[in-house]
Structures are given as structure tokens and as C-alpha cells.
Structure 1
Amino acid sequence: MAGREDGNRLRETQTGTGPEWAEELLEHLRPTGRDVRRVVAWLSGALGATVALQDAAGNLVAGNPIPLDEDLVADITAGRIASAAWENGERHLRLVRVDHPSHACVLAVSRQAPFDRRASGVVTHTAQVIELLLTARESTAAGHRLRRATADLRLAILQLLMVEDTIAARRVAAGLWPGLLDADTACVYVVESAPAVRDRIAEECLDTTREDALVVRCPAMDGHVIVVSPRETTDEALRSLVGRHPGLFLGGSVRQSLAQTATAYGQAVSALAVAHFRADKTAVYAERTHPERLMDPVALRAWTSRVLRPLDALPHHTRAELLATTRLGLEFTAVNAAKVLGVSRNTVRARMERVETLLGTDFADLTVRAVVHLALNTRIGLPDTLPADDTADPGLRLADLLSGPAVRTWGRDLLGRLDADARNPRRTLRTWIAVGGNAERAAQALGVHAQTVREHVRSAEPVLERQLLAAGTDLYEVVLAHLTVGDLDLPVLPSPA
């Protein structure tokens, strides 16, 4: 008797053979243990059996393959019978139906010992646990697919706004977020975080704005979340979010029309660079004086019309596509512009090369890029109610636009901020611009190290309150300032310019 008691005690400590098997099975429902393959492996060890979980097509989901009668499996997965059991003298086989959200599976258990009440109970309860895990996994996967589809849709809306197709953007948004883009104007914000936490921050942005804003994971910058919102309350909500997380920074644009979302995005990125120097880690783009606002608007529009006239012969959709791509391509790298637009970088480069050919320009020259950028922004930045282009002097040139007293004063004041620095970063900056923003070539021209050039340019950014090392509006305004004061030669453009 004592021997038998010792033997029973030994058997009860083995996995799944004593009263604790139910507790062991329930452990697999904990968040850290939800794995169908682990449950099947546990069942195999608990009953000393070979276990297979397969779908109706015979595909093995978990466990080890077991030869099964196809007709019997079909009856079980079709729901005609719930379970089956038989023996062939050496092996005992038990099959149980496992429901699945999309299709039924069969749990097959084969072992040498017969299935007593306890073994049958273990199989039945294990099938129920597997059913719960499969349902949870399917729900989780469906949730991931839904969130991914929603995120892709938000990105598509942003890409439409970036190319000024506000009608299509509103149409797409109306289905899921009615009223989101009903306003004519909006602000764009960029929240910067570590890439590893970007997804969580994006979800918090959605919660914080109560989905009253278009929240997009930036396709170009891994740590950025872009928020487009017509609501006045978004600014305060995002500032609060940044205040709760030490690793976040926020840049915001001024209010712009939806058609100028690309411009607003550039402003937000520029403000984000300033936010890194602020105690509260936030900054809104300063509504500073831009050079184009100091020029005669009628003359500026007439000059712009003549510069872009070579594109007028193109079909409307082709012209709009080229202009929108070039605007973004001048603001960002070709790779990042491609990600924002949802096209390949080769497509961006091909479109920009076509514009170069049509305009007779070379975008490798920073002065050319700045002047074309001025023309492209003028095309959408000035009201359509201005007088027709032919009211202006047809002989007006770029030199005339840049020689006005107001714009020249602006250029002198802006660049004059650098004169107090004994290192003469103004000379470095002028040389760096003249060689296309290439630090190595500028260093050769100045007889210094390339790192010195980079440090001078970087140190000029907070003084000028403009981002220089990344292409965009800030850099092009500094280039125009050099042109207005005569520190750089005017670019060679076709005769209309």
C-alpha cells in the first residue's frame, strides 16, 4: 500500500496528470502565455501523446502530423459531428472540433493508453482553450489590419493635400471622419519622438485630439508624427502631450489654406528645429517678414507667370503634377518627397528633371532652386483677384524685383546678424551656398576643414532663426537675402526671368 501511495504521489507531480492540470492549462490564457503551439506542446506532454492541430485543408497549424481519415476530418470541420474516437489495437485516437472565426480546425490526439475520463477532460478543455486563443489571435490580427488600413488612408489624404488636391482629400476623409476637412484653413504640426515610441505617440495624438485632426505617421522621418487640424484647440492639446513626455518636441505652422498644406508642413518642420532650443520644447513658425511680401505683388505675379510659362503648354493634370512634385522636391530630398507623395524617388527625380529642361535651369545651383521656389510659391501664395499679368512692365526681371528698397533692407538686416561673429560665418555661408551647399568644396575654397564649414553654417541657424542644413524655405530665403545685397550673382535663367 505504501508503495502504491508513493507511486501515485509521483505520478501526480508530472505535468497534466494530477489535479493541477487545469491550473496549468489556464496559465496559457495569461497575456504572456497565449501561444497555440505551446498549448499543443503542453497537451502532448500532459497525456504522453502525439498531438496535431490542423485546418480543414489538412494544413498543420501546430504540433506533429498524424495520419487522419479525410472524410472524418471533413465531417468534423463541417460541423456534422463534434468529435470522434477509435482504436486500432496499438494506438488510441481522439479528434475534437475547434471552432475558429474564419474556419474550423481539428485537434487530433494519438497515444498508446486508452482515454479515461481525465484524459478525455484534458482534451476537451484544451480544445476550448485553443478555440479562445485562435479567436483572440484572429481579433488581434483583424485589429492590426484595421489600424493599418486606417493609417494608410490617413496618409493618402495627406498626400492629396500635399499636391493641392483638396477636393479629393475631402471626399476620401468624409467617409470615416465627417467634417474633418470642412474648414478652408488648417495648421500643421510635427511631433518628434524617438522612433521606437512613435506608434504610441501617434495613438496618443489621436486620443488627445479626439480624432478631430488628421494624424499621420510621417513616411519620410521615422520619429515624426504629422498632425493637420483646423481646430483651434489642437495646439493646446499637443503642447500638453509634449509636456507629459520628456522626449518629445513640437513644431507648428501658421494657419494656411488646405491647398498650402505642403507650405504649412515646411513651416512646422522649420519650427521643430527651433523647438529643440526652447525650454518648453515647442515652437510655432514665426510669422516673419518674407521677401516676397516686400515685392510689388503685381510685378511678382507677372514675373512668376513668365518664368513658369514653358509649362503652360502641358495638359493641366501633367502641369499640376510636375509643379506639385517640384515644390516638394525643392523643400525636401527626393527620397523624402517620394515618401510623402507615395511615388518612387526615381519618379520625383524624373519629374524635376523634366521641369529643369522646360525651364532651362539647373537645380544643382542653390540660387536657381531659390528663385524657382519663389516662383512656385508665388503661384499659389498670392490672391487670384490681383490684376492680370499684362498690367505689369513686360521687361521686368528678377534683378528689378530684388532691388526694391524694402527687400534690400530686409536682406541687409538679416545677414547683418552674422557680422558680430569674429569667425566670419557670413563668408563661410556665402561660399557654401555658391558651391551648392557642399561642405567639402566650400572648405577647399576657404582653405579650412569641412567640419569647420559645417559648424559655421550650423551656428548661423539660431542667429538667422532659419534651418540651413536641410533644403527648404528657410535656406532659400537666406539665398535670396544674399542675392538682394549682391553677395551672390543672380542665377542664369531664360530671358523672361
Structure 2
Amino acid sequence: MAGRRDGIRRTPAAAGDPTWAHELLEHLRPAGRDVRRVVDWLAGTVRAEVSLQDAAGTLVAGTRLPLDPALVADLGSGRVASAAWDGDGCHQRLVRIGHPAQACVLAVSRTAPFDRDASDVVTHTAQVIELLLTAHGTTAAGLRLRRATADLRLAILQLLMVEDTVAARRVAAGLWPGLLDADTACVYVVESAPDRRERLVVECLDTTREEALVVRCPAMDGHVIVVSPRESTASDLRSLVGRHPDTFLGGSVWQSLARTATAYGQAVSALAVARFRADRTAVYAERTHPERLMDPAALRGWSARVLRPLDALAHHTRAELLATARLGLEFTAVNTAKILGVSRNTVRARMERVESMLGVDFDDVTARAVVHLALHTQINLLDGQAGTDPGTHSPGLAGLLAGEAVEAWARELLGRLDRDTRNVRRTLRAWIAVGCNAERAAQVLGVHAQTVREHMRSAEPVLERQLLASGTDLYEVVLAHLAAGDLEQPVLAGE
């Protein structure tokens, strides 16, 4: 047995570039970088049995060979770089292969002695395997780092969604100093085909120069969420969308970081409008919202009464239920769970607890709309203002919706549908009354369920609101029906 301590011998290719050298180089091409294929090629080229194992003895490629454990240990530890063993009609060459994680041992065993050509093939193949293992280790480490960074971005977004801005800033400060130092930000949702999302994420990071929080949406496979406190982000993302035909952009208005969930809902709503725009982009319009037409003090008093049953809970429990309810009324339980990073059973349990405490049935879309109004009021109208004593007299929901301004808004909004000769307005009213179920609405109207769906889709651009997905847009349309007297008002325990 002979050992060598000078590392892998770096011999130049033989004159005339022998065929084996060309074949070996082919394994370095991007399409052929597979260590197992290289080991199999070596076995066939030198007519030998070949094994590649790590320092622990685990077979990485090839076939397992009977090797001297002490010799393998010396190679693995780096005491020797290569070794040769001959005996009993068997000739072996062992080479240590360096690797960022742990060293490996390449063993080649054949019945014929190793001539110069066979030795050169083994030496150069060891060099190629070392390169491939190093590249694979670097790629794997980079992938793990990218995944960890993506998970961290998602965690920050989830903290913002539940209004924990202090923790979100603390987490972000380590990797992205100053990213969340601003008090306000915009949320954007960029949409593409799901199979293009990974490229889209990279482009969003490059376009925003990593000065924004870029997150793969945990709920929608084709969506990328961007939270940015910088005004330049809007134009940057518009230019990105302009370069890709099947990409759309929806953006929110400026919101405080505590209202990230509200801003996200606005961005999703704007995205629905962007699909009808020539430039495929839209920013949430500060259109007339019904709550803005109501007396603020009366609305705050009513909201406080509706949500009063939750006031008896511990602060953190109440905040947890309110955050879940806000998202749960905008999205499905599955998507809400993905956004919050909890199980869907947890979301359902929290929503059921809110239902029970408020005395409502969330299967009733009108009840969902009214509770959504109370929650929306709480976060938008109570910021920076003194709370209203729940016991203070204020009109109920009927009084709030009976205002002249609210009724005028409802008539104008729903009146847009009167120009459609198919009586889309009647279909919409029936669809809402049966819980937004197309099949049940079809039975009530005596039409096909597909007709109901087509009417709903045609009503969306007219009303400039997304109807087929639960959320703020739908709830505003429901409130318009309540204000117009087209639907019965739900009964709430706090009322």
C-alpha cells in the first residue's frame, strides 16, 4: 500500500485531447452535472468497480466495495490524500475528495493493474467530482438561505397582518435595517401565472432594490405581495408589469403599518380592476364608502356596542380574535390560516367564538357585512380618537343606513345595474339573500346556475367591485341593498 499527502494530482490533459477527456468534460455542462453519472462513466471507462462514499461510510454513488476501514478513516480525516492497494489479484486506487460539508472517498477497484492512462482518468475524474460536489453544496446552501430569507419575510408580513408592528420591525431590523422605519406604507399585489412566480419574486426584489418587503403570497399561488414605504415602488412595479404581458398589479392607498391587512384587501380589490385595464395596473380608488357618509360619532357608538361582548376578554385574546375576524371576513378559512401562519381549524374555532359572542350567524352574508362594518369602523375611525362609551345612546344600524347621504349612495350604486335588460339587479339581490350561492339563487329565480354566475361577472365591472370573492367590495354592495330596503337587516346581540 502506498499513500500520498500532496492532494489530488493536477495533471494536464494528454496531448491530442484523448476521447475520455472530452467525455469527462461533457459532465461539467449544466445538463450533465450528476455525480452518479460521472461515477458510472468512470467505471465503464477504466473497466472497474467504483464507489463514492462519505466519511461516515454512506454510499453516495456507485457500488459498495470492501475497503480497509482504517485507510478510509485516514482519507476522510485528511491524513492522506490518496492511496493505492494491490493484492489477491485486485488493484485499488482511493482518492480523498474535498467537500464543503464533509470529505468523500472515491475508490476504484479492478483486476488489471493501473497504467498511466487509467491513473490519469481516475485523477481527473476525482477533480470533476470535487467540482460537482462543491457546486452542489454551494447551490444547496444558497437555496437554504433563500428559503430561510423567504420564511423570514413571510413572518414579518404575518406580524404586520395582526398589527404587531413592534415585533415586525424588530425581526426586519436584523436583515433589512430601516425597511419598516416609516409610519405608513403601500401594499401591492403582483399577479402572474403560478409557474412564473419564482421569476417574478426575483424581479420584484431586483426592481425594488430590496427596499421593500417582497413575499410569496401564502394563499394565492400566482400572487406576490410587496409592502413598501417608498413612493418610487409604484412606478418600479408598473414598469415591471409593462415588460410582461400576462402580469397584473393592484395597489392600496397609503396606510399605517398597523393597517397592513386593510391595505392588502385594498390591493386585492384593485387587482380585480386591473384585469380590465389596458395597462393592467390599478390603485385602490378612494371611492365613496358608506361609512364615510354616516355620522362618525354615531357610527363609533354603534360599533362599540356591537363589539362590546369581546371587551371582557383578555387584551391579547381580544386582539387575536379581532385580527382573525377581520381577515376571516375577507378571505376563506384556508387562506386566512395561510396568511396568519396558523391552522385552518384554529381560524374556524376563532371565527365560531366571535360568532357566538356577537350573536350572529356568519352563514348570513348580511350579518357578515354588518360585523365587517363594525370591525372596519373600529380600526379606521377610532385611530387617534377617544373611544365612545358603549352605553351612550346612538342610533342602531337602521338609523345609520337611513341617512339621506347613505340612501342616495345606495340608489346610485345599485341603479347602475338598471340599464341591463337581463334584470341583473334582481339576480344580485336573490344571490345575496341565499348566501351568495349560485345554485340556490338559480332555484329561486327559475334559471340555470351558470346564468346567475354570468350575471354576477357582468355586474362586477359595472359596480367596480369584486362580487364572487368575499370581502369589502361584496359587503359594500350588501350594505347598499340594506340601505335601499331590498334586504332584511340582520339582528345582532349588541344592537
| Residue of structure 2 equivalent to 1:377 | 376
Following TM superposition, where does structure 1 have runs of at least 4 consecutive aligned residues deviating by more than 3 angstroms?
Answer: 383-388, 390-393
| Residue of structure 2 equivalent to 1:263 | 262
Superposition deviation, residue 21 in structure 1: 1.7
Letter in 1 for 2:60: V
Aligned with 1:390: secondary structure?
coil
Superposition deviation, residue 142 in structure 1: 0.3
Superposition deviation, residue 198 in structure 1: 0.4
| Residue of structure 2 equivalent to 1:450 | 449
| Residue of structure 1 equivalent to 2:19 | 20
1:213–1:227 Cα contact (<8 Å) kept: yes
Equivalences for residues 16-95 of structure 1 within 5 A: 19-95=18-94
| Residue of structure 1 equivalent to 2:156 | 157
| Residue of structure 1 equivalent to 2:107 | 108
Superposition deviation, residue 277 in structure 1: 0.8
CA distance in 2, matches of 1:452, 1:46: 69
Q: CA offsets, 1:87-106, max 9 Å, x none?
A: 12321111111111111111
2:91–2:114 Cα contact (<8 Å) kept: yes
Aligned with 2:375: secondary structure?
helix
| Residue of structure 2 equivalent to 1:357 | 356
1:299–1:393 Cα contact (<8 Å) kept: no
Aligned with 1:289: secondary structure?
coil
Letter in 2 for 1:346: N
CA distance in 1, matches of 2:223, 2:260: 16
Superposition deviation, residue 391 in structure 1: 9.4
| Residue of structure 2 equivalent to 1:300 | 299
CA distance in 1, matches of 2:163, 2:127: 54
Does the C-alpha gap of structure 1 residues 449 and 489 become closer, same or farther in structure 2, counting only changes over 3 Å? same
CA distance in 1, matches of 2:146, 2:218: 16
TM-score (norm. length: structure 1): 0.95
Superposition deviation, residue 385 in structure 1: 4.2
| Residue of structure 1 equivalent to 2:239 | 240
Letter in 2 for 1:334: A
Kindly indicate whether residue 122 of structure 2 is the aligned counterpart of residue 130 of structure 1: no
Superposition deviation, residue 23 in structure 1: 2.1
Letter in 2 for 1:250: L
Superposition deviation, residue 63 in structure 1: 0.6
Aligned with 1:24: secondary structure?
helix
CA distance in 2, matches of 1:416, 1:440: 25
Does the C-alpha gap of structure 1 residues 379 and 388 become closer, same or farther in structure 2, counting only changes over 3 Å? closer
CA distance in 1, matches of 2:226, 2:33: 36
| Residue of structure 1 equivalent to 2:13 | none
CA distance in 2, matches of 1:213, 1:229: 5
CA distance in 1, matches of 2:96, 2:387: 78
1:298–1:392 Cα contact (<8 Å) kept: no
Letter in 2 for 1:302: G
| Residue of structure 1 equivalent to 2:322 | 323
1:298–1:387 Cα contact (<8 Å) kept: no
Letter in 1 for 2:346: T
Letter in 1 for 2:431: W
Q: CA offsets, 1:217-257, max 9 Å, x none?
A: 11111100011111100010000001101110111111111
Q: Which stretch shows the higher mean deviation, 375-384 or 150-159?
A: 375-384
Superposition deviation, residue 282 in structure 1: 0.7
Q: CA offsets, 1:20-73, max 9 Å, x none?
A: 222221221111111111111111111000000001111100111101111110
Kindly indicate whether residue 480 of structure 2 is the aligned counterpart of residue 481 of structure 1: yes
Structure 2: segments with no counterpart, 5+ residues: 1-15
Q: CA offsets, 1:440-469, max 9 Å, x none?
A: 111111111111111111111000000000
Letter in 1 for 2:229: P
Q: CA offsets, 1:160-190, max 9 Å, x none?
A: 1111111111111111011111111111111
2:304–2:390 Cα contact (<8 Å) kept: no
| Residue of structure 2 equivalent to 1:422 | 421
Kindly indicate whether residue 432 of structure 2 is the aligned counterpart of residue 469 of structure 1: no
Does the C-alpha gap of structure 1 residues 388 and 349 become closer, same or farther in structure 2, counting only changes over 3 Å? closer
1:298–1:386 Cα contact (<8 Å) kept: no
Q: % of aligned pairs identical?
A: 77
Superposition deviation, residue 260 in structure 1: 0.8
Superposition deviation, residue 396 in structure 1: 2.1
Kindly indicate whether residue 335 of structure 2 is the aligned counterpart of residue 336 of structure 1: yes
Superposition deviation, residue 393 in structure 1: 5.0
| Residue of structure 2 equivalent to 1:175 | 174
Q: CA offsets, 1:245-287, max 9 Å, x none?
A: 1110111111111111111111111111111111111111111
Aligned with 2:349: secondary structure?
helix
| Residue of structure 1 equivalent to 2:4 | none
| Residue of structure 2 equivalent to 1:311 | 310
CA distance in 1, matches of 2:280, 2:383: 38
Q: Which stretch shows the higher mean deviation, 117-126 or 303-312?
A: 117-126
CA distance in 2, matches of 1:420, 1:116: 92
CA distance in 1, matches of 2:183, 2:91: 73
| Residue of structure 2 equivalent to 1:203 | 202
Does the C-alpha gap of structure 1 residues 391 and 490 become closer, same or farther in structure 2, counting only changes over 3 Å? closer
Letter in 2 for 1:188: V
Superposition deviation, residue 383 in structure 1: 4.1
| Residue of structure 2 equivalent to 1:404 | 403
Aligned with 1:331: secondary structure?
coil
CA distance in 1, matches of 2:107, 2:386: 82
Aligned residues: 480
Q: CA offsets, 1:334-364, max 9 Å, x none?
A: 1111111111111100000000001111000
Letter in 2 for 1:70: P
Letter in 2 for 1:474: D
CA distance in 2, matches of 1:53, 1:387: 72
CA distance in 2, matches of 1:345, 1:86: 62
CA distance in 1, matches of 2:55, 2:205: 41
CA distance in 2, matches of 1:388, 1:137: 59
Equivalences for residues 384-395 of structure 1 within 5 A: 384-390=383-389, 393-395=392-394
Q: Which stretch shows the higher mean deviation, 390-399 or 239-248?
A: 390-399
Superposition deviation, residue 387 in structure 1: 4.8
Q: Which stretch shows the higher mean deviation, 19-28 or 150-159?
A: 19-28
Kindly indicate whether residue 225 of structure 2 is the aligned counterpart of residue 226 of structure 1: yes
CA distance in 1, matches of 2:384, 2:265: 26
Letter in 2 for 1:390: D
Letter in 2 for 1:115: F
CA distance in 1, matches of 2:419, 2:288: 22
Aligned with 2:61: secondary structure?
strand
Q: Which stretch shows the higher mean deviation, 117-126 or 241-250?
A: 117-126
CA distance in 2, matches of 1:385, 1:55: 63
| Residue of structure 2 equivalent to 1:7 | none
| Residue of structure 2 equivalent to 1:212 | 211
| Residue of structure 1 equivalent to 2:8 | none
